[in-house]
Structure formats: structure tokens, C-alpha cells
Amino acid sequence: MIIKQHEAVCGVLSAVNRIIKHYLAGSIVFSFPAHCFLWVTLTNYSSLSATYFTMISAMTLFFLLSSFGAYLFAAHVNTTAHKTLDVVWKIDLSSLPDKGLKMIDIFTTKLSGSTIGYDIYGLFTLQKSNILVLFGTILTYFIVAVQFKPDGTGEKCLEMLKNITSC
């Protein structure tokens, strides 16, 4: 019964993944440069007006919460899907016939072999470790942006951004 339930849940997950993988891929591809741009802008806070700084801070927070919220949900799905393996390990195998043992062996191999969850076009499945890598990369970019802040208070960069946006 647990095998059939798990197969049904995996079927639903696969159907949802066909739709949500586009959002997750777009979120990673497009929000990462947005995070980096916003972090660089925030590092030049001394030349920003209070309103502009508040707006940029709110946008940064919104991007972080929305993208990482989706990533955390995907990681939770991955963790929950693999919890079935803990239940299977608790089964008393001494009372099962050979056919039952073979089914459980195949099921445990399937659970422990492939990663279950939302995948990004087959490249990788979102797990907690992937979220840590994404967050670490953005944090590293922020640290580099702070260290390589332009000379002065950043007016040159902001002036360039204002010229680009006014075109």
C-alpha cells in the first residue's frame, strides 16, 4: 500500500513539475542578476536618498523572500518524499515472503537511488544543499561588491545608472 501511495504522489509531483520547472528556472536565471544589481546599489547607500534606499531595500527583500520561499518549498517536498524510506526501514522483514522482500528491495533502491522533487530541466533537483549554494553565492557577491566599492561615495555608478534609466 505504501508503494502505491508513493507512486501516486510521485505521479502528481511529476505533473506539477512539468509546470513549475519553468517558474523555478526563470526564478534562478532572472532573480540572481536582480539580486546582484540590488546589492551593488545598496552598497552605494551614502549617495542614495532615504526614499530611494527604502525602495531598493524593499525590492531586495521582496526578491529574496519570493525566490527563496519557492526554493524552500521545493526542498521541503524533496525531504518529505524521501521520508518514506524511514518508514520502510522500520518494517519487520522476517515475516514477509520472498515476493514481498523483492518488492521492498526494489522500492528502497528506487527511493535511495534517484532524487525525488522539483527538478530544473533535468539539470538538478532543488534540495537544501542547492539553496545553501545559491544563498552563499549571492552573499559572496554582496561581500565582493562592498569590498570593491567605487572610489568616493559611488556617485559615478549612480550617475551612470540614472543616465541609463532616463534613456
Query: Per-residue pLDDT for the chain (167 aa), expressed as one digit of tens each?
Result: 677 777 777 788 888 888 888 888 887 788 777 777 777 777 766 666 778 778 877 887 887 787 778 888 888 888 887 777 777 777 777 777 888 788 878 777 777 776 778 888 888 888 888 888 888 887 887 777 777 765 554 455 555 556 556 55
Helix (H, G, I), strand (E, B), or coil: what is residue 122? coil
> Cell numbers 520561499 correspond to what residue?
69
pLDDT of 153 = 47
CA 99, CA 89: separation in Å to the nearest integer? 17
pLDDT of 140 = 83
CA 112, CA 35: separation in Å to the nearest integer? 35
Domains contained in the chain, number: 1
Helix (H, G, I), strand (E, B), or coil: what is residue 119? strand
Q: Are 65 and 35 in contact (CB under 8 A)?
A: no
Q: Are 158 and 53 in contact (CB under 8 A)?
A: no
Within 8 A by CB and 6+ apart from 116, the residues are 10, 13, 78, 81, 82, 125
Identify the domain containing residue 152 by its residue range: 2-166
pLDDT of 154 = 46
pLDDT of 53 = 76
pLDDT of 27 = 79
119 forms bridges with which residues in the sheet?
A: 125
Phi and psi, residue 119, nearest 5°: -110, 155
pLDDT of 152 = 52
Q: Are 44 and 150 in contact (CB under 8 A)?
A: yes
